Structure 1
Amino acid sequence: MTQQRYQNGKQVIRRWDEVFKAVTAESRRQLIISLADANPDETVPLPESAVNPNVPRDPAVLRQKLYHCHLPMLSDYGFITWDTEPLVAGRGPRFEEVAVVFESLQSNATDVPDPLVFGCQRLEQERQERFDDPVAE
């Protein structure tokens, strides 16, 4: 029993480490959000689905970073699937494990500290909607 709890604990730690590593880059966060907004069986076009609208990047540079760094990592963890021609991404078998981080933030937007909200269109919008509709809280 103790050995099983130890193995389960190690697995949970590894999975959380993968989720938090996945969300450490802005383009990966934007891609996960884009996929969460899409229908579960749809793919999203890249690089445009990995761009923060407030801080646009050079599409050629972003495409290269996605291809060589971000997409392989997210795919290795099972969070996404991707194809090269055209460059698109879809939800992987473990997508919900990473998407829940953003769903939780959105549903608690009124509790998120201001420095993490202002400048983030999604959280700003969610917070405003909750303030405009007191029944939502």
Structure 2
Amino acid sequence: MIEWFDDLKVGMKFRSDKVTVSKEDILRFAREFDPQPFHLDDEAAKDTILGGLAASGWHTAAIAMRLALSAKPFGPHPLFGAGVDELRWMKPVRPGDTLHLEGEVVELIPSKNKPQGIARVKWTAFNQDGEAVYTFNPIAIVPRRPAIG
């Protein structure tokens, strides 16, 4: 069981739960955070590079964050981050898409002076057809196992 930075190994893999994105979810998020026509209106979205109604990329990012939590890559510890690299939106997320997240530990850097380390997990969100829709590589801060004594 993973509880600490010290339990992680490069190459470890994680898989999240699944979530289906509804049209109502897309519209609600867009109205509040990204009110652009291609996130709010089917007809307006048809004539864009998206070719139809699609979730905001930031909505997809928020869904991926929730899915990362369900994968529990760092055991009981929260997912603290110092930033994100290589964030890419690869395909539009459409109403009715079911997403899940897969991650792989690609780098582990123990701190020299703090009881923690940096864990880099490359995460990819896939739709129900196995197509990658989003990828990101956060800089996660994970506590180390407390010293005994």
Into which bin does the TM-score normalised by the smaller protein fall? under 0.3
Larger radius of gyration: 2
Structure ranking higher on relative contact order (CA contacts 8 Å, 6+ apart)? 2
TM-score by length of 1: 0.24
What is the TM-score normalised by the length of structure 2? 0.23
Which structure: greater helix fraction?
1
